[in-house]
Chains A and B, each alone.
Chain A
Amino acid sequence: MSFCPNIVGFACQWCTYAGADLAGNLRAKYPPSIKLIKVPCSGRVEPEHVLEAFAQGADGVLVGGCHFGDCHYKTGNHKTSQRMKIFAKLLADSGFDPRRFRLEWISGAEGYRFAEVVEEFTKELQELGPNPIKEGV
């Protein structure tokens, strides 16, 4: 059996979480690799949460928010964008593969896009293999 990565997904309740819901309604197929956590806004996701997921053994972490201009709180996703850009560089400079971390804008109308992103990310993680710092591997 091929390796099925564990992805922790932080999904904004207004966009990406609704998008994931729509993916289900549309019967869109995507791998069972992602475990979604609903957050009020992608801006609520601290880089510390992402590190915690990796430290606990997640193979990949996806943060999903609204497209620019769509944020329920106006600038939450802009803040996310700024933070995660620096954070991805911090991961890379610390010697951790930043490809394990993804930031995507997926709206509530983009059910197929959600399925596509999860499929793509799962494939990429399969190529990267398990999280190297995971214990018990």
Chain B
Amino acid sequence: MAAKVKTAFLLAGGCAGCEMSVVDLSEVLVDVLESIEIVFWAPTVADVKYCDLEEMEDNSIDVAFVDGMIRNTENEHTVKVLRAKSKVLVAFGACATLGGIGALGDLHTKEELFKQAYQDSFSTDNPDGVMPSPEYLLDGKYELTIPALLDNCATVDQIVDVEYYVGGCPPHPKFVGQILTSLLAGELPPPGSWITSGKAVCDSCSRNPVRNGQERLPVGEIKRTIDGTPDPDTCLLQQGYMCFGPVTQGDCEGSCLNVNMPCRGCGGPLPGIKDFGARCVSTIASSMADDAAVDQFIDKYNDMAKMFYRYAHTAGSLNRKVAALKDK
């Protein structure tokens, strides 16, 4: 039998949901574990430390997965170390590839973020107004440090080279299984590609009007998800619920649609799309009947940046550059 594939997982600025998705493979993971050796999985699963990773030889890891965006100095450091140690690096999930939900913080100043997190949020009890500081001198002699928040969010490929991209928040466990299987069989696309079926969410959605022999009609009345209960068999976009299915990779098999929720694009852009938010605007706007519907939409969904760049803010053409200017 060939040597086991040395595999690493690193959680950067994410929520570990993508790692839950790997664990959710359950029996498949048990089978896969016969062919792979997990040499590093921190800080969540395995009992290895960052210093163990630093001591490994360069290029000694066959494939490394990073989930989460680069949000603080710790993420930045560990991902650079992991890159040096790995032959193949996979940006795993929406945060690592596109920025994810956390990247929407780039639409606010650091001050606003800290105030919200350490003062204003309703579960916070902070009467002295203590704010975290990267360095602290305890008892006048112990220098304590914590990682510092970077000025802006970054995707993994904005910091180091990335071989493959996997979308999803998190990637669907079934799809993760397919990825691991094709990885072990050596059937991967050329480096720099997304690992995806390349099909849209609509392609796998049972509500797709084309599938049901219906005509797609312009949308006149715009609804938010809180407006009534959508009909479970009709296309959400047709019912006026704004859905990003047409431009999103459908490796999730339309799981949100199956539970009556419109797609928000976590699967990542379909091949050929350079800026997810802008293409989404194009698709959504052209599905509307007239300018009156557009006005209604803008009125109901007020913040367009958080709507269209829900998962793809940092990867947007201008966003990172604009975000770099905000504190100045």
Measured CB to CB, the residues of A under 8 A from B are 46-48, 50-52, 54-55, 78-79, 81-83, 85-87, 89-90, 92-96, 132-133
Can you list 22 residue pairs at the A/B interface with Cβ under 8 Å?
A: A46-B278, A47-B275, A48-B273, A48-B274, A48-B278, A48-B317, A51-B317, A52-B274, A52-B275, A78-B290, A79-B286, A82-B293, A83-B281, A85-B285, A90-B304, A90-B305, A90-B308, A94-B107, A94-B304, A94-B305, A94-B318, A95-B325
User: A89–B298 contact, CB under 8 A?
Assistant: yes
Please indicate which of the listed interface residues B275, B316, B326 has the most CB atoms of chain A within 10 Å of its own CB.
B275
Residue pair B322, A89 in contact (C-beta under 8 Å): no
Count of residues in B whose CB is under 8 Å from the partner chain: 35
The answer to the question of B6 belonging to the interface, with a C-beta cut-off of 8 Å to chain A, is no
Set of chain A residues within 8 Å of B304, measured between Cβ atoms: 86, 89-90, 92-94
Q: State A90–B321 Cα separation when bound (angstroms).
A: 15
Total inter-chain residue pairs, C-beta < 8 Å: 98
Nearest-Cβ distance from residue A137 to partner chain B, whole angstroms: 12
CB 8 Å contact bits of B291-302 with A (1 = contact, 0 = none): 101110110000
Query: B274 — nearest CB in chain A belongs to which residue?
Result: A48
The answer to whether A86 and B279 touch across the interface, beta carbons within 8 angstroms, is no
At the interface, yes or no: B13 with Cβ under 8 Å from chain A?
A: no
Inter-subunit contact B326/A95 (CB<8 Å):
yes
Contact partner of A94 among B291, B293, B295, B319, CB < 8 A? B319
A93 neighbours in B (Cβ, 8 Å): 107, 303-306
B65 beta carbon closer than 8 Å to chain A: no
| A-side contacts of B290, CB under 8 Å | 78, 82
Chain B interface secondary structure, helix, strand, loop or mixed?
Answer: helix
Q: Chain B residues with Cβ under 8 A from A96's Cβ?
A: 318, 322
Write the nearest CB–CB distance from B287 to chain A, whole angstroms.
Answer: 9
B residues less than 8 Å from A85 (CB atoms): 285, 291, 294-295, 298
Given contacts A79-B285, A82-B285, A133-B322, contact A48 B316 (CB under 8 A): no
Separation of A83 and B321 alpha carbons in the complex (Å): 23
Residues of A within 8 A of B23 (CB): none
Is the CB of B133 closer than 8 A to any CB of chain A?
A: no
Nearest-Cβ distance from residue B92 to partner chain A, whole angstroms:
26
B155-185 Cβ-contact flags toward A at 8 Å (1 or 0): 0000000000000000000000000000000
Q: Quick check: B297 and A86 within 8 Å, CB to CB?
A: yes
Chain A residues near B298 (CB, 8 Å)? 85-86, 89
Chain A residues near B297: list those with CB within 8 A: 86
B282 within 8 A of A: yes
For B281, what are the chain A residues with a Cβ–Cβ distance below 8 Å?
Answer: 47, 83, 86-87, 90
A82 in contact with B279 (CB, 8 Å): no
Known: A52-B317, A90-B308. A47 touches B279 (CB 8 A): yes
Contact A47 B282 (CB under 8 A): yes
Given contacts A79-B285, A94-B318, A96-B322, contact A87 B309 (CB under 8 A): no
